[in-house]
Amino acid sequence: MENSNKYLSHIKPTWCPGCGNFGIFTSLKNAFKKLDLDPSELAVVTDVGCSGNTADFLKTYVFHALHGRALPPAAGIKLANHKLKVVAIIGDGGCYGEGLGHYINLMRGNHDITVLVHDNSLYSLTTGQTSPTTPKGIKTKSSPNGVIEEPLNPLALALANSASFCARTYALDIKDQTNTIIKAISHSGFSLIDILQPCITFNKTQTIKWYQERVYKLKNRFKNKEEAFKETLRTDKLGTGIFWQEKRPAYHQECQTLKNEALVAKNIKNINLGELIDKLV
Amino acid sequence: MKNSINIKIGGHAGEGIKVSGLILTRSLTRLGYSTFSYSEYPSLIRGGHNTYQIQVGLHKVQACLRKLDILIALNQETIKLHQDELKKTSLVIYDPGEFKLPLGELKGKYLAIPLLKITNKAGGKPIMANMASLASVLTLLGIELNTFKDIIRKEFSKKGEDLVKANIEVGEAGKNYVLKNYFQEKLVLEKPKTNLKRMVLTGNEAIALGALAGGLQFYSAYPMTPATSILHYLASIENQTNIVVKQTEDEISAINMALGASFAGVLSMTATSGGGLCLMAEGISMAGVAEIPLVIVNSMRPGPALGMPTWTSQGDLQFVLHIGHDEFPRIIFTPGDAKEAFELTKLSFELAEKYQLPVFILVDKYLSESDFSTQLFKKDHPAKRFSMADNLGPKDEFYKRYKLTENGVSKRSIPGQKGGIHCCNSYEHDENGLGTEEGEMRIKMMDKRMKKMKLLEKEIKGVSLFGPKKAKLSLISWGSNKGVILEALKELKNVNFLHLSCVWPFPKKEVEEFIKTSEKCYSIEGNATGQLTSLIKQETGLTLQSVLKYDGRPFWVEEIIKKFTN
């Protein structure tokens, strides 16, 4: 069996023992392997946070973006060279807080990128502050009286904003998660996976046990968006699997100037400005 | 006979002033005259006072004078607002059917031309009255309408033959009215002796063309005056030039998308104004640490914060010198006219790639939106790629993208290339790009990046000297003041001028020598504190006096002349 080590750098992951990131990382490299992706044809964009540290553990092309900003460069890379597979690794703070505007707008554009949100409902690399998905009432270092806000609903937002692929996985269910990541990467267009991830060090409420009592596998595909939307509103149980997938041309496929070749292949050896200059006379 | 004339059109926004002004500018330029046109308008779509001003001359014209020879007043307000700019001999064209002249003593001679009436009579729509006024002006200057008609055909042919015909008829009617009633008021402009072919374009169009000449492939931006017209122009020619133009959700996305595209191997640019640049600060810092080639245009308007969106300023010099946290190398070009904007933007793409750093084109509203007449740019541009690795490593192994080299420049690889795998990292990193917090590697990487400044100093010629080598009075300035000062130099005797088209790397030797050989030296700047003066002091230890202006308007030629005439 060909090993999945070809995607790994010499640096061993530095996450806390038992961290949900290990489950996600294993699923990711399994998915790369099953899809038989060439590490040279793969651009992984990482955000900042525990999940972002994935940058150092991979041996593919990696762009380690600024905090909250993984999605714009991911879209930029895809527009520059749409032959590449582009995967963004980002946390709930980066994607749903600092970079929420990018999340909403790039999904509308159906940019062909796969976005894996490591959603542990907490800022963990900065040692545990409230995040956009922290449930109301939870006490954290930055909210000692309990969070006042209602949590953000990433899947409902994605459905409402024309994301063409929306899914949820549970970080520790490697088999299922691998399959969903494979489907997301294979999907042409914006694919979102909101990954439920226990933070065993700082999140004392949403523990592994807490997740195990709530997570269940969605059985069938939803017939329509309304049904899928209803499921995203559930809080007693957390369904995993694909909430919605539809076929729609990706941004680069609708972009007039990318019909024939990748932008990076454009020849700039003979630029002629004649017509443009004549128009200005 | 005159060899230079200053014409202004004033009225409400939405009356087609800019379009009319440009038609007149193009007509005069095509006839062989040199022109420079400047417009003022408020941050409104309808209403508010708008002006378009054309300086036209037999010899090279590079700025507008404040005193007018002809004023086309489309409303009464125009006559009141511009009294200070009129001379006894100025001609003011107005439509007596539209408004009465203001009460009180008025400067200039008033030519009542019933523009709307003659337009209606010639079968035109009310908006075409502008063509009647333009034709009146040309007739007063003793110029036949043939070229004007050609320009009308060019501008309106897309909208149908009927519209072209109607506009031409209206123009003829305007001409005939002047010939019949105001023939004695003629301000004949000497005929140009050359038939030098010139183009008319804004500074922003010159920047866009320079970018294309440099190989631009990807442009992402968020609209912000006065940088927006770069987005408009590039979007309008996106298909023709086979580039990708992307309007993003904000400036943060604009710069980060451009960084991603550049990492993936395409030549990228973004543009904004001060407020947007504030949002781009962290992205610029990333270009610094991750050594990503990027061209960034900042077109200044007065700030702080929203300031005065449609006016001009040179208030961001120190901001751009320092934008982004910690230290990294950068280049800041400050072109003084359309030709320099074109050439330096083109050069920016080469240098951004060669040295893998952010390159700024620092301009202002005055340069971005003024119409320059200039000799045709070169048409063919065989652009090249720089700093791309020829020899990559073994497949599926890390490539030393940030290899520690003697001069600090390491060769790039791009995604898709076998054997080029690396991490393009916003964190401090090792030679492969993997994150590091080790002190020794940090120093090596900082030194690697900063070393590139030394190479740049050799590569860039940042100054141009005008006037005698040694003079009684010396002026030093940067950016768009160039044209104004050069016009003033036509009047000022025994004065020389050092124009800085690049402020970073700072042209230390040239500036030092210029100041030391001068008897008296002033810096001329459009800001309140003398930011170039501070930079000169920082770099050379020499202290200058500053002539400052920060009312949102460019320097006027007369202001410079007056300041230095005893």
> Which residue in B239, B267, B416 is closest to A40 by CB distance?
B416
Q: What's the confidence (pLDDT) of residue A3?
A: 56
Residue B377 lies in a domain: no
Same-domain pairing of B217 and B177:
no
Let me know whether B346 and B396 are in one domain. Answer: no
Mutate to test the interface with A, among B22, B207, B263 (most CBs of A within 10 A): B263
Query: Is the same domain home to B212 and B290?
Result: yes
For chain B, how many residues are written?
566
Share of chain B above pLDDT 90, in %: 94
pLDDT at B289: 98
**pLDDT at res. A4:** 62
Q: What is the DSSP string of B208-240?
A: HHHHHHTT--EEEE---TTTHHHHHHHHHTHHH
CA distance A213 to chain B (A): 38
Domain count, chain B: 4
Same domain for B450 and B413, yes or no, is yes
Interface probe for B, chosen from A8, A37, A63 (most Cβ of B below 10 Å), is A63
Please tell me whether residues B210 and B307 are part of one structural domain. yes
Q: Tell whether A269 lies on the interface with B, counting CB pairs under 8 A.
A: yes
* B326 assigned to some structural domain: yes
- Is residue B243 within 8 A of residue B234, CB to CB? The reply is yes
Residue ranges making up the domain that contains B487: 463-563
Contact assignment for B434 to A59 by CB distance below 8 Å: no
B201:A59 CB<8 A: no
Residues 6 or more apart whose Cβ sits within 8 Å of residue A214: A236, A237, A238
> Hey, are the CB atoms on A101 and B253 less than 8 Å from each other?
yes
How does residue B1 score in pLDDT terms, banded at 50, 70 and 90? confident
What was the pLDDT predicted at A1?
A: 35
Say yes or no: B186 and B218 in one domain.
Answer: no
Q: Which of B243, B257, B374, B375 to mutate to test the interface with A (most CBs of A within 10 A)?
A: B257
Domain boundary among B460, B492, B524: B460
pLDDT value, residue B526? 98
Which of A258, A269, A281 faces B199 most closely, judged by CB atoms? Answer: A281
Of A11, A73, A273, the CB nearest to B260: A73
B276 is a domain residue: yes
Determine, yes or no, domain membership for B288.
yes
Please report the pLDDT score of residue B320 as a whole number: 98
The answer to whether B379 contacts A258, with C-beta atoms less than 8 Å apart, is no
Nearest CA in chain A to B418: A40
Q: What is the mean pLDDT of chain A?
A: 96
> Which chain B residues have a beta carbon less than 8 Å from that of A265?
none
* pLDDT at B44 (0 to 100): 80
Q: A13 — contact with chain B (CB < 8 Å)?
A: no
Average pLDDT, chain B: 96
Identify the segments of chain A with pLDDT beneath 70: 1-4
Is domain A4-279 annotated with CATH 3.40.50.970?
yes
Judge whether residue B95 has pLDDT over 50.
Answer: yes
pLDDT tens digit sequence for B6-49: 999 999 988 899 999 999 999 999 999 999 999 999 888 777 89
Q: What is the CATH number of the domain that holds B188?
A: 3.40.920.10
Whether the pLDDT of residue B51 is over 60: the answer is yes
pLDDT per position as a tens digit, A47-105: 999 999 999 999 999 999 999 999 999 999 999 999 999 999 999 999 999 999 999 99
Position B382 in a domain: no
Chain A residues with CB under 8 Å of B286 CB are 65-66
From chain B, the residues in CB contact with A63 under 8 A are: 260, 263, 423-424
Residue type, B205: E
> Tens of pLDDT along B112-129?
999 999 999 999 999 999
Tell me the mean pLDDT in the region B445-455.
Answer: 96
Structural domain boundaries in chain A: 4-279
CB environment A171-199: b (16+ within 10 A), e (fewer): bbbbebbbbbbbbbbebebbbbbbbbbbb
How would you write B328-344 as a 3-class SS string?
CCCEEECCCCHHHHHHH
Express each pLDDT in B223-266 by its tens digit: 999 999 999 999 999 999 999 999 999 999 999 999 999 999 99
Q: Is residue B184 part of a domain?
A: yes
Residues of A in contact with B266 (CB under 8 A): 80-81, 263-264, 266
Residue B46 and residue B182 share a domain: yes
Asked if residue B516 and residue B455 are part of one domain, the reply reads no
Residues B319 and B391 in one domain: no
CA nearest to B205 within chain A: A280
For chain A positions 64-103, those within 8 Å of chain B (CB to CB) are 64-66, 69, 72-77, 79-81, 83-84, 101-102
- Residues B95-100 have a mean pLDDT of 96
Does A62 lie at the interface with B, CB-CB under 8 angstroms? yes
* Domain final residue pick, B174, B199, B224: B199
Residue after which a domain boundary falls, among B343, B371, B399: B371
Pair B366, B397 in one domain: no
Interface test with B, best of A104, A258, A276, A279 (most B CBs within 10 A): A276
A110 touches chain B (CB under 8 A): no
Same domain, B49 and B14: yes
Task: For residue B379, tell me if it sits in a domain.
Answer: no
Of residues A9, A65, A264, nearest to B264 (C-beta)? A264
Clarify whether residues B141 and B167 are in a common domain.
Answer: yes
CA-based max dimension of chain A: 73
